[in-house]
A and B are shown apart, each in its own frame.
Chain A
Amino acid sequence: MGPASAGAQDRGTAGGPEVIEVALEGTAKEGKKESSKKRTLAGCPVEGLLQPAKLTRAELYKEPTSEELNRLRETESLFHSSLLRLQVEELLKEVRLPEKKKERIDAFLREVHQRVLKVPSTPKTELTDQTWLPAGVRVPLHQVPYTVKGCFRFLPPAQVTVVGSYLLGTCIRPDINVDMAVTMPREILQDKDGLNQRYFRKRALYLAHLAHHLGQDPFFGSVRFSYTNGCHLKPSLLLRPRGKDERLVTVRLHPCPPPDFFRPCRLLPSKNNVRSAWYRGQSPPGDGSPEPPTPHYNAWVLQDMTLESHMQLLSTVLGSALGLKDGVALLKVWLRQRELDKGLGGFSGFLVSMLVAFLVSTRKIHTTMSGYQVLRSVLQFLATTDLTVNGISLCLSSDPSLPALADFHQAFPVVFLDSSGCLNLCADVTASTYHQVQHEARLSMALLDSRADDGFQLLLMTPKPMIRAFDHILHLHPLSRLQAACHRLKLWPELQDLGGDYVSAALGSLTTLLEQGLGSRLHLLAHSRPPVSEWDISQDPPKHRDSGTLTLGLLLRPEGLTSVLELGPEANQPEAADFRQFWGSRSELRRFQDGAIREAVVWEAASMAQKRLIPHQVVTHLLALHANIPDTCVHYVGGLLDALIQSPKENSSTGEEALAAAVRCYDDLSRLLWGLEGLPLTVSAVQGAHPVLRYTEVFPPTPVRPAYSFYEQLRERASLLPRPDKPCPAYVEPMTVVCHLEGSGQWPQDAEAIRRVRAAFQLRLAELLTQQHGLQCRATATHTDVLKDGFVFRVRVAYQREPQILREMRSPEGMISLRDTPASLRLERDTRHLPLLTSALHGLQQQHPAFSGAARLAKRWVRAQLLGEGFTDESLDLVVAALFLHPEPFTPPSSPQVGFLRFLFLVSTFDWKNNPLIVNLNNELTVEEQEEIRSGFLATRTQLPVMVIVTPQDRKNSVWTQDGPSPQTVFRPPLDMYDVLIRLSPRHIPRHRQAVDSPAASFCRGLLSEPGPSSLMPVLGYDPPQLYLAQLREAFGDLALFFYDQHGGEVIGVLWKPSSFQPQPFKASNTKGRMVMSQGGELVMVPNVEAILEDLAVLGEGLVQAVEARSEKWTV
């Protein structure tokens, strides 16, 4: 039996870590080195902060030992880098079964073996007479139709053997399963048991009897049924130890026929073994048409027959090759992270082991390869080989009686034959699943070849659940609906073959249907596999409809999403009928501009958001038309979050169009600026520097048309003012545009003078724009506001050398050196970094149309959590840009929804402490430069902000996160407890309508709905809540933090800073808002909370409705 023979292999696997240990120690042999290792490590676990390695010169330059050289050479040839090698070793250590547990499992297996052999026999009965079964156990099979010929009796198994990964040493944690093949004695089976599910009935009864006896045995903690790999005809029995070891291991008993009981030639894919007369209760049509083949049924019988031979094959191949075993373990982790390995038709660990065996037999993998190389070779093979077209075979025999690969291709979507040449190992794998595996393999190969990123982390450690991997998701529920679909699709032969599993039967047809319908919009369609359930032995087995929902994932092609037209063939072509049949009533005859008259389908979609959701229309239409699945059963998750970035009065668009209109207006303005006549210096560049101009403003601006009666008018300055007696006017934020003027000797070289010259230019700009183009302008010393077509732009004149002049310092010796000052940094940020960032992200939007939506959802979310203050606009934009530029292990998002979900995942998992987020805009950074940035980051970590975001233009400083977020903001738990809430009056919240829960009614904001003459400058940037917040932070910033959602928030949350509430000794510089108290005879200062609470109301007079103190924390 198994465990005994496993001994040799156990030793083999145990050798793995040992060898590695030796190699590791080889580098750390000297005591000195040991201590240095400890030293460098000592600091880091405490703070969890990495530090650059500190090695003395002697340590760095000592003569290498031969072990060290060997290891280095090995790392270079077998692995990618030393880090990858170490990571892989650590991962294997984590997932591999420790020796101690193996011993306990072996003991348990021996017990199971003995107990199974001791189960008593039963007398012979008809298969349909199941009265002998005791009350506490139900047959783990749906016996439809019930009547079947044949007799059954239970006899103890002829043999019980351990098969599968446990023996091979490739099983991985956390769930350890040991498969045991229980060979039923020959006497139980009869000649024609291969027919009409008789074998499966007996198999189920055999298990039921076993279950009954083992279930009474106090030795087992749990005895339950499950479906083997989700196949409804093949239950298996799960045994777990009692007591503390209950979760240690699950033993799965698989009954199987005696070897050579069934003749393989009768189980070939073209044969029928389920008769229509029996299954459908009707004789086959009298015209003598043949019985439909039952390839899947046949394959399931064959699988049971080959359990042991496969085991032998695998143990010969993997036997002593450690690298191969490591490789299989890594592949299993890889598959599991992608949710590809579970359920009927999953790409299981067994399949990849066989694939490795195949690649060894074709010499694509060598037994001396490392685990990493095996992983790579298998991925490479999967990426480049399409098993749905060119199947592969382990069979070496050239027996002409064996069927050809082509025969298998007819019966199965994916073909991989075992060594007998009769069994398709991929019998249950659907084409979609295989294509998904291929897609994943290609992505992973690209990732491994790119070198830039942390391949290990992305390849093996990042889970890829469907919801984050696919742009759109749809759930089909309830599943019973698929039964009707099978009938509509005329899938009776498939049902007969699959034993009534209508989910599996319909799956292939449905995916083909949708793939055809989605056409150029679709990149990949994937489906979930029904989960493998477990049930108690006293219960009936779960039905097909009990496996929850069927989930389909759509990976979309952004370029295909722009079209609303499905172009069909010309009306007189024969294919036109097919097209009409496929699209049903949606297909119409249309005349096109080139004169052709064609069949075509036109979808209703005006905005980008609606175009993105055309797949929804396609899916519901086709499912209803061809599969009789009404749209109430299709739960489409594609645009659920769209409502949050729709402007308050518009629900057909998510704002991309409005943003584009603003950008067009900006383009016009920039042309005007370029062509302006009469400026003393020419314009050298006009650059946008506002979120609108990079498509990331949550609520895009709309053209302003003020109703004058609503405002105070300041005629002499052509401006409108808010009126105290009216609700505050609409919020209009000017869009910043930087206008660079050419360098020239005319510019003064003195900061103060430059400021005045710039102011003169601002004035001149306003004059010229008014004179030459009739635009309303308002100039200040730093900018000129320009009203154009209802949009307001804030043009800032910039002189390229100004930041440098601000940096100049003259030493006493007259040497001029350059030192950053706050003013120079600010100017550089506003006139250099911001325009560059804006144009790079503008470009990104052209490449990835979903960027805008994702970035805006992300910002909206952060602000709705009242965390907006801690994050600059730009830092959030960059984080989202990273999701598009470095999507690995995913593909770039094609819908805002998936972009946003990945944003949440990144924010929740990224280790900001030890990693900079590198956003490689325009792909300007080379791999070496990124490496340099990382090491530079480690060396200066403590001086850098909490979040560090690096771009090609900003390699060291992380400009956009300098002032926040603070560690408190990033790590503060979801907030529901504020110390004080300040409720605001909606009357004075200009953006009230943007609120997450859109208000039923708000106030008139003094805008006309019709275009009118607008010659007066509207009220700009007037947002009372923001003014109020600025005052609060100014006055009480030392004592409290203030949180607010700028998008229509009605409440400001206040958190007292605990450190400020510690009583402090009197200090003249630190009296702000405090009062002196005598405490224990000493005079101390504490915040004067009562007075401060009243201040909150005083400062916000008119805006504040109520100030609610919610906690008593401050009573010292």
Chain B
Amino acid sequence: METRTLPAPDCNSQRPPPLPAGKMVARRGKRGARDSEPGIPSPPGYSAIPIKFSEKQQASHYLYVREHRVREGTKSSWPQKRTLFVLNVPPYCTEGFQVAYVVFQKPGGVSAALVLKGPLLVSTESHPVKSGICKWISNYADSVPDPEALRVEVDTFMEAYDKRIAEEEAQAEEEEGVPDEEGWVKVTRRGRRPVLPRTEAASLRVLEKERRKRARKELLNFYAWQHRETKMEHLAQLRKKFEEDKQRIELMRAQRKFRPY
């Protein structure tokens, strides 16, 4: 049997796939089904299974489970019929409340799980689950890095990367100056006459340069109408500022900001 946890549909962070939930469900699943009592309310289409961390706890959370189905035609990475869709997996199984997809080997597992009555226990004497201090210490120990492993990972990646880049370059060199079927020749950075890279910033720079060149040639305040317009522009600025100032004053008055003490 294979089990994996996925982030909730609305959340896009990646999580390591923790296992205890699946294990536990599976273990109980083998034990077979009793009739579920209609006592626990559950949303339509789902069954509710109470779940607790261990015997010590009084109250339980509820897993809401149903068979994993998708609309016709949509692709799903989960096998049909054999997958159980679980909502509200408690935080001691994973990080935060999660959604899980549990894949059973046989379709029977799903139907067995759907009629589970619970309450399920996450941590038992035979299968203790770490939490709190113990968990944090083991997390810390796991986080102490192994430089060798890192080096190997870096080297393998870079080897592949260098190979890919070399191939691309070789291909680009091959295509250099060769017209395509419509007769266009691709001009690249590496060719005999390199061009600017096609970036937004570069094109903006060119436009700006043009604008400045034009502005330099233009005479300012030369004609009477230009003069008039500059003055009017100044007045408009003042008006705008005045309007804003008035608004600010109005607001301050409303906040009684003019009471000096």
Contacts and interface: CB of A to CB of B under 8 A. Distances in A.
Contacts of A763: 147, 150-151, 154
A25 to B, nearest CB: 12
Contacts of A40: 243, 247
| Residue among A95, A763, A1101 facing the most chain B CB atoms (10 A cut-off) | A1101
Interface in A61-120: 61, 64, 72, 81-83, 86-87, 90-91, 93-95
Given A463-B261, A779-B147, A1075-B62, A721 B137 contact: yes
B215 interface: no
Contacts of A336: 260-261
B258 A90 contact: yes
A1031 interface: yes
Contacts of B43: 1066, 1076, 1083
B246 interface: yes
A778 B154 contact: no
Interface in A1073-1116: 1073-1078, 1083, 1088, 1090-1091, 1093-1095, 1098-1104
Interface in A738-774: 748, 750, 752-753, 756-757, 759-760, 763, 766
B131 interface: yes
B79 interface: no
A50 interface: yes
A757 B61 contact: no
A1071 B62 CA distance: 10
A50 B199 CA distance: 38
Interface string B154-181: 1001100100010000000000000000
A52 B91 CA distance: 47
A782 to B, nearest CB: 10
Contacts, number: 249
A337 B151 contact: no
A779 B9 contact: no
Contacts of A724: 133-134, 137
Interface stretch (B101-109, B110-118, B231-239): B231-239
Interface stretch (B26-34, B52-60, B69-77): B52-60
B249 interface: yes
B260 A1088 contact: no
Contact of B59 (A37, A914, A1090, A1099): A1090
A1061 B135 CA distance: 30
A815 interface: yes
A808 B61 CA distance: 45
Interface in A284-322: none
Interface in A579-630: none
B236 A60 contact: yes
Interface in A914-944: 914, 938
B141 A721 contact: yes
Interface string B9-23: 110000000000000
Contact of A86 (B96, B245, B260): B245
How many A residues are at the interface, by size bracket? 35 or more
Nearest to A813: B198
B161 A82 contact: no
A55 interface: yes
Nearest to B66: A1068
Interface in B157-213: 157-158, 161, 165, 197-201, 203
Contact of A48 (B52, B145, B240, B255): B255
B247 A1075 contact: no
A488 interface: no
A435 to B, nearest CB: 24
Nearest to B10: A1069
B254 to A, nearest CB: 5
Interface stretch (A396-404, A787-795, A1019-1027): A1019-1027
B48 interface: yes
B42 A714 contact: no
Contacts of A1101: 131-135
Interface string B122-142: 000000000111111101110
B91 A1099 contact: yes
Contacts of B150: 759, 763, 779-781
Contacts of A808: 199
A51 B199 CA distance: 35
A1077 B8 CA distance: 22
A1068 B87 contact: yes
Contacts of A760: 151, 154, 158
Nearest to A748: B161
B92 A1099 contact: yes
A724 B157 CA distance: 38
A778 B132 contact: no
B260 A44 contact: no
Contacts of A463: 261
A1011 interface: no
A44 B251 contact: yes
A815 B199 contact: yes
A1102 to B, nearest CB: 3
How many B residues are at the interface, by size bracket? 35 or more
B201 to A, nearest CB: 6
A719 interface: yes
Given A60-B236, A1035-B96, A1088-B62, A95 B260 contact: yes
| Residue among A87, A717, A818, A1076 facing the most chain B CB atoms (10 A cut-off) | A1076
A1099 B131 contact: yes
Contacts of A55: 239-240, 243
A778 B144 contact: yes
A53 B247 contact: yes
A55 B134 CA distance: 65
Nearest to B236: A60
Contacts of A95: 260
A818 B133 contact: no
B92 to A, nearest CB: 5
A60 B153 CA distance: 65
A1034 interface: yes
A1069 B201 CA distance: 41
A59 B240 CA distance: 10
A656 B259 CA distance: 41
Contacts of B147: 763, 766, 778-779
A872 interface: no
A1095 B92 contact: yes
Given A463-B261, A763-B150, A1073-B97, A64 B42 contact: no
Contacts of A1036: 91
Contacts of B10: 1069
A448 to B, nearest CB: 17
B140 A86 contact: no
A461 interface: yes
Given A37-B246, A780-B145, A1099-B92, A1076 B158 contact: no
B247 A50 contact: yes
A672 interface: no
Given A53-B247, A86-B249, A1068-B9, A817 B88 contact: no
A833 to B, nearest CB: 21
10 contacts: A44-B247, A44-B250, A94-B260, A174-B261, A756-B161, A1022-B136, A1031-B95, A1071-B88, A1101-B133, A1103-B132
Interface of A: 27, 37, 40-41, 44-45, 48, 50-53, 55, 59-61, 64, 72, 81-83, 86-87, 90-91, 93-95, 174, 333, 336-337, 460-461, 463, 712, 714, 717, 719, 721-724, 728, 748, 750, 752-753, 756-757, 759-760, 763, 766, 778-781, 808, 814-818, 911, 914, 938, 988, 1019, 1022, 1024, 1027-1028, 1031, 1034-1037, 1066, 1068-1069, 1071-1078, 1083, 1088, 1090-1091, 1093-1095, 1098-1104
